[in-house]
Amino acid sequence: MVYILLAPGFEEAEALVPADLLRRAGVDVSLVSLQGDAVTGSHQITVKADLTLERVNLDDAEMLVLPGGGLGVKHLGEAPEVEALVRQAVARGLWVGAICAAPTLLGRWGQLEGREAVCFPGMEGQLAGAQVRMEQRTVTDGRLITGRAAGSAFDFGLALVEALAGPEEAERVRHAVHY
């Protein structure tokens, strides 16, 4: 199971494109709201969540994904349950994906020291000890996948597919969507 965490103000493309690509690859995905059934993104698109944060079960998880969006990332960062969940996921060796402004949360929470990462341009200083690779759209370092911005949503989503379903499946999905 992949849990994509949605907070009010999340960047819709950074959550929904990866969710779509993962589901095309046959990966189970749940859109997770911090609270309530629906979450409105940064462009006023309201998404119905599959479940709320308290129902996330890391025992059945393969990956956590943190989409960007300035206000969404602010709300994710203000939720101690999100930090605890990310720390537990990392400790268990689960995949963690973060795109746009969300990698700054991983930096704040001490998860990027000595690792390669990318984020929204101009936020590199918040990656706390990471080797920043801004020339890349996505970076995979161990079980951490980071993406640059909304324009990298397809690259990021395909990197998530590759991590969980393999390069052949990622290529099949890429071809199926004509990307």
One DSSP character per residue, 14-37 reads HHHHHHHHHHHTT--EEEEESSSS
Active-site residue (options: 100, 150, 159, 165):
100
Tally the C-alpha atoms within 13 A of residue 105's C-alpha that lie toward its C-beta: 32
- Residue 26, Cβ density class (10 Å: 0-12 exposed, 13-18 middle, ≥19 buried): exposed
Q: Which residue has the tokens 């995905």?
A: 29
CA distance 125 to 2: 28
DSSP label of 111: -
Q: Is 100 tagged catalytic?
A: yes
DSSP label of 95: E
Give me the active site residues, please.
100
